[in-house]
Chain A
Amino acid sequence: MKGKSSWGVLTYVLLLLWAIFTVMPLYWLFSATFKLPGEAMGYPPTFFPKHPTLRNFGTLLFKSEFGFKSYLNSIVIATGATLISTVSAMLAGFGFSRYRFPLRNQMFVFILLLQMIPLLAVIIPLYKLYSLYGLYDTRIGLMIVYAVRTVSMNTWLLKGYFDTVPVEIEEAALIDGCSMLQAFSRVSFPIAAPGVAAAAIFAFFRSWNEFMIAMILTSTVRPYTVELYRFLGEHGEVDWSLLGTASFIAIVPVLILFSFFQKYFIIGLAGGALKE
Chain B
Amino acid sequence: MRKRARNITTGYLLILPTVLLLLLLLVYPLTQAVYLSLHEIKLTSLNQQTYVGLRNYSRIFSYEGPSFFTQVLSATFYFVGGSIVGQLGFGLAMALLVNQRWVKGKQIFRAIFILPWVTSAIVIAISWRFIYEPRLGVLNYVLVLLGVTDLPGWLNDLNLVMPCLIVANTWHGTAFSFILQTAGLQSIPYDVYEAAMVDGAGPGQRFRYVTLPLMRPFIMINLVLISMYTVNFFDLIYAMTNGGPLYKTEVIAVFLYHQAFEYGHMGTGAAIAVLILMINLILTFLYMRLNREQVAERK
Contact = CB atoms under 8 A, between A and B. Distances in A.
Nearest to A7: B203
A6 interface: no
A269 B176 contact: yes
A92 B13 CA distance: 9
Contacts of B46: 128, 131-132
A274 B183 contact: yes
A274 B232 contact: no
Contacts of B111: 259, 262
Contact of A155 (B18, B110, B218, B273): B18
Contacts, number: 271
B119 A251 contact: yes
A2 interface: yes
Interface string B112-125: 11111111111111
- Majority-rule SS of B interface residues: helix
Interface residues of B, number: 99
B215 interface: no
Interface string B279-290: 011011001000
Contacts of B222: 273
Interface stretch (B27-35, B60-68, B76-84, B152-160): B27-35
16 contacts: A12-B103, A84-B21, A91-B15, A95-B10, A98-B11, A100-B11, A107-B15, A118-B232, A120-B276, A121-B33, A121-B280, A122-B29, A148-B25, A205-B118, A229-B239, A251-B119
Interface of B: 7-8, 10-15, 17-19, 21-22, 25-30, 32-33, 36, 41, 46-47, 90, 93-94, 97-98, 100-103, 109-131, 135-138, 141, 171, 176, 179-180, 182-183, 203, 218, 221-222, 225, 228, 232, 234-235, 238-239, 253, 256-257, 260-261, 266, 269-270, 273-274, 276-277, 280-281, 283-284, 287, 291, 294-295
